[in-house]
A and B are shown apart, each in its own frame.
Chain A
Amino acid sequence: MLDPTSFDRFEEMKQELLDIIEERLDESEHILWASTDQQFYFITSQIVVFSARKTIVKPAELVSVVPEMTSSSIFYHFIDARTRTFGHLDDFRAWLYGFEDKYRDLCDILSNVDPFFSTLPELRQQLSNIFKDYFGKER
């Protein structure tokens, strides 16, 4: 298994991927093939970062803001963030750690969310529930 968020640069991940593929190909005694309709395509992408024109200053505001976030905002802040923040953190934790230890328990809960096994709307729901539960209790 390759964790894409554990690499600092895409080039490193690409190289690791190629090495793994080469290694498996080296093991094979047979000529490998794929039908024309089942090819593998290497595609690159550019991320476009839009302003959502929303700013919050208090962590408790996450309760009302997260359920309204678009799927692409969830992707940007919870998945893409891991490739661009120090320590490969999502944006929520990166921000909450800035309040010193105050939200450490919330960060622990967030670190248990695996973002790669649910759809973005499901992820939004999961995060919304976490923030609602946490700040509901806090109040």
Chain B
Amino acid sequence: METNVSNEMEKEQQNVAIIKELGQTQVPINEDKNPRGNIHCLTIIGQIEGHIVLPPQNKTTKYEHLLPQMVAIEEDQGIDGVLILLNTVGGDVEAGLAISEMIASLNKPTVSLVLGGGHSIGVPLAVAADYSFIAPSATMMIHPVRMSGTVIGVAQTYEYFDKMQERIVDFVAKNSKISKERFKDLMLDTGKLAKDVGSILVGEEAVSERLIDEMGGISQAMNKLYELIEKQKSILH
């Protein structure tokens, strides 16, 4: 009896540690099947880590874990839909786009919710879902891509930057209702930020720019996800 209690407490502590460290909640299992559909919660937080491991004081989202995890989600019969919670400052372009492409190509309904911030590469991650929400106080910063380290001052460098930017612009335009031209205008706006080029969209602005589908919180996001699950179930049966 005592062992059971201590095991449960240990399990609870482990769950708390997972939420604290990774922001990830327990995957629903078949025995606890929710009649409306089982949801897997994917939390994208902090910086999107690229090929270099970031120092331990950084909160990061690791692509080498998320990519196979999404394959597992796609394969798992017990998961009906995915809720993506975003609070990210952005990060590595390639890693961010890789995760975004995986979300966009998932066969299961996906809903994203931007809380706090969904900046930079967080924008393609947010729009990659089937339906996106933003909290009224959340912000999204859109600005040009950057590079650290030695930059060779030749025309090809600019072309490379432009190509990288184009990949982001194309993805966002394809997966949301904003036009490429408008997104580029926001990205290259010189009148909005004091020390940078770009724009900040707060809650409703992201919706009025047609980047995000709707403003809302967790209940709206969950209801939408259940609605999409229901819709998919009716198509499959």
Decide if A and B are genuine partners: no
Residues of B participating in the A interface, judged by any CB pair closer than 8 Å: none
